[in-house]
Structure 1
Amino acid sequence: MAKAARAAQAWRAYRDVSRPGSPGIGVRLRAIPRLLGGVMNGTYPGMGRGKLAMMGLGVLYMLSPVDVIPEFLLLVGVVDDFGVFLWLMGSLLGESGRYVDWERRRVRAVPS
């Protein structure tokens, strides 16, 4: 993914989090474990296991000592990890926000 696309995705995630009525960043971060569980056990239809696997690969890439651009190239080597981090955080914040909205709709749909 190009740097401009990653930056645009991060900006969209920030704009979405700061939108009035949208779940805040704390709510989204606390929802991530529930989101992961919902995807894994199939109760949340909004995200597939394929995207979850891509996010997992992103985490592994950041933690891995093997890089496409090694860190010994100073700043350039860190930029690729930071790009993956931006994509991962943008994806997680966006997906967790959609998950919280889905949970809220589901709770309202349940008759009391």
Structure 2
Amino acid sequence: MAKAARAAAAWRTYREVTKPGSPALMTRVRAIPRMIGAVMRGQYDGMGKGKLGLLALGVVYIVSPVDVLPDFLMLIGVADDFGVFLWLAASLLGESGRYVQHERSVIQARVEGLEQA
């Protein structure tokens, strides 16, 4: 991933997280385990198991000692890890923000259903 593309991805993530009315950063981070569980149980259709698998592969790539571009190649080897990290962070924060909004809409629907009963 080119330097400009990484910067653009980071900027898009920052703008999404700080958008008025959007879930805050820590709300998104705390929602990630709930989102993963909901996807695995089939309770959240906003993200498929395939994308969840890609995110898991991203985590494995970052923590794995085996790289496509070895880290001993100095900046080039670290840059690929950083690119994967940025993609992973942007994907997780974006998806978890949508999941928080989904949770809120489900809770709101339940409250409205109780009020009508």
TM-score normalised according to structure 2 size: 0.90
Task: Name 1:77's counterpart in structure 2.
Answer: 77
Larger Rg belongs to: 2
Task: Name 1:65's counterpart in structure 2.
Answer: 65
User: For 1:99, what is the secondary structure of its paired residue?
Assistant: helix
Instruction: Confirm or deny that 1:103 pairs with 2:103.
Output: yes
Distance 1:33 1:100 in 2: 12
User: For 1:21, what is the secondary structure of its paired residue?
Assistant: coil
Mind listing any 5+ residue stretches in structure 1 that lack a counterpart? none
Task: Name 1:53's counterpart in structure 2.
Answer: 53
User: For 1:46, what is the secondary structure of its paired residue?
Assistant: coil
Mind listing any 5+ residue stretches in structure 2 that lack a counterpart? none
Instruction: Among all aligned residue pairs of Structure 1 and Structure 2, give the percentage whose two residues are the same amino acid.
Output: 62
User: For 1:7, what is the secondary structure of its paired residue?
Assistant: helix
User: Is the Cα contact below 8 Å between 1:7 and 1:86 reproduced in 2?
Assistant: no
Task: Name 1:87's counterpart in structure 2.
Answer: 87
For the aligned residue pairs, the C-alpha RMSD in angstroms reads 1.1
Query: What is the CA distance between 1:13 and its match in structure 2?
Result: 1.4
Task: Name 2:15's counterpart in structure 1.
Answer: 15
TM-score normalised according to structure 1 size: 0.94
Matched residues, number: 111
- Which aligned pairs between 1:17-36 and structure 2 lie closer than 5 A? 17-36=17-36
Distance 2:82 2:36 in 1: 23
Query: What is the CA distance between 1:76 and its match in structure 2?
Result: 1.2
